[in-house]
Chain A
Amino acid sequence: MVPAMPTRMEEPMTEARTPVSSDPELAISVRGLRKSFGDVHALDGVDLEVAPGTVLGLLGPNGAGKTTAVRVMATLLAPDAGEVCVAGLDVVKDAAKVRERIGLAGQYAAIDENLTGLENLVMVGRLYGMSRAAATVRARELLDRFDLIDAAGRPAKTYSGGMRRRLDLGAALVAKPPVLFLDEPTTGLDPRSRLEVWTTIEELVGEGRTVLLTTQYLDEADRLADRIAVIDRGRVIAGGTPDELKDRVSGERLEVRLTERADAQAAVRALSAISDEPPLADGDTVTVGVRRRAGVIVEAVRRLDEAGVGVDDITLRRPTLDDVFLSLTGHVAESDADDKPEEKPA
């Protein structure tokens, strides 16, 4: 892997110049990070490591602490305890320098709706210290690349949700930062816009940038991330590549869809005899890990029938990240963003 420091930064990172105790080879290093808001421990001792040029997916349900972690790493929030280094710099002591090396794009598409796409990017470029001319050149490059050049002269309030996210991503990339934080980049987007944003992120990663991505979508983490850290209630409860995480859920998954949602507990009791691990119920679906294939469906159907539980559908399948999440946290990842502020209709 090529270290992701860009050549244009005037101060090359050297250990002598910037004394940091963490591993300077890492693009992001977080140790023992704690942050409380009153009595709420938003982050309760988080450790993370991201190698340069890789994507870490920070996966967790709403309120798990993902956004708080990003806000600390992006110098927006001071940690209560712990050590956080980004691009080899301490986010508390060297906050100003860190800001020159990061890009932040958030779930709320932080753009000025009254300015045009071009004006938004030019403003950000100038605030990075570029001249108006240089900022305009860079803004046009980004608009071109994100397929927004035809809309460059329109106020951003006329943009669709996907266009706004792309403009927001563009704004995060103005200064070609080596480290990029993407906080739930697709939350609230329709499936088509979501795919557009995914494609864009994949291109960015292809350029050797380090990306920390938070998401509550398992398929998103599976598709985009080299490594995943699962975070729940302010702690990292598991980490690894998507495949390693899937391997942690042993064997195959038996999934039973019930005729009556009310039978869920009866089904859990009936199925607990066929596996070492406890079955988990989610609405009208009960899932359980099984080690052997042979005869397991027949046995499951027989036990459910004896318990008087009606079955709509029964399948055996390979585990997904959803199963990993469920078995790690004991609850389902919220796949709907309905408690998040909605995107404003364009």
Chain B
Amino acid sequence: MSRLVTDTMIVAERNLVRLTRAPDLLLAFTVQPVMFVLLFVYVFGGAILVPDFYDSYVAFLLPGIIVQNIAFGGFVTALGLNEDLHKGLIDRFRSLPMARPAVLAGRTLADVVTNALSVVVLVVTGVIIGFSFDASLIEIAGGFGLLLLFGYAFSWIFALLGLIVSSPEAANSLGFIAVFPLTFISSAFVPVESMPAGLQWFAEINPFTIVVDAMRALWVGAPAHNSVWGAVAWSLAIIAVFAPLAVSRYRRAAGN
């Protein structure tokens, strides 16, 4: 077990060091989400009717767009693992006497760090353009924790994706096709009530809606029902399903 922890930290360190060598990737974590926040707030913001509870679109949008952004944070894992697979690095790792799940666990752990970075960037951006917390410090911290947990869960989905698909390009487009609609057919950008009946039904059971509602409850005090625990449960369930699938796939991974 201690071997797993040590090896996981070594792999996580490797992935974070890489990041500093490829500054363009860092740009993707920071500038791109900021761009989306600004586009949504200033292009769509005026046209979207938010529930009376929110005093502005940015108060409604920010928790939603942060959840969307964090779900995409795991993309690096899919791309990176697929690249490692093709370059033979996975073969090298598998020929070493290291803990089997460590390559994936280290990768997803590195995502938590980059996700934390992009959450901070987004919150700061939000505050600059008028977002304000209506929550205790504990609730704010709980929100951060939930975001990182949900992002971590999605990293495991992307880890599996990266080990299955034939190329980084395929990982990119498949991941996008799978995740993008999920994030949009949710309460992240518009109130669910404004959607047609069929979409509304889907949006209401969509885990994204549950996580977004939980974030609004934690950060701006919106009525939450049981969203917070629902969001935690969804995240844990995703990890429970996808982490073993990804690790089992890794064990059998055939390099080239």
Contacts and interface: CB of A to CB of B under 8 A. Distances in A.
Contact of B92 (A75, A110, A126): A110
Interface residues on B, range: 20 to 34
A116 to B, nearest CB: 9
A321 to B, nearest CB: 27
Contact of B87 (A96, A100, A108, A123): A108
A174 to B, nearest CB: 9
Contact of A104 (B7, B14, B91, B97): B91
A109 B255 CA distance: 13
B14 A115 contact: yes
B95 to A, nearest CB: 4
B145 interface: no
A129 B254 CA distance: 25
Interface string B69-98: 000000000000000001111011111111
A75 B89 contact: no
A124 B96 contact: yes
A77 B95 contact: no
A252 interface: no
B197 interface: no
The secondary structure that dominates the B interface is helix
B89 A104 contact: no
Nearest to A171: B92
A155 interface: yes
Nearest to A95: B97
A173 interface: no
A75 B10 CA distance: 22
A195 interface: no
A261 B101 CA distance: 57
Contact of B95 (A75, A107, A111, A112): A75
A128 B3 CA distance: 10
Contacts of B91: 71, 74, 76, 104, 106, 110
Contacts of A96: 97
Contact of B88 (A97, A109, A115): A109
Contacts of B17: 114-115, 119
A127 B7 contact: yes
A129 B22 contact: no
Contacts of B173: none
Closest 3 CB pairs of A and B: A110-B88, A108-B88, A110-B92
27 contacts: A71-B91, A75-B95, A76-B91, A76-B95, A76-B255, A104-B92, A106-B88, A106-B91, A107-B88, A109-B87, A109-B88, A112-B14, A114-B18, A114-B21, A115-B14, A115-B17, A115-B21, A119-B17, A123-B13, A124-B96, A126-B6, A127-B93, A127-B97, A128-B96, A128-B97, A129-B97, A341-B256
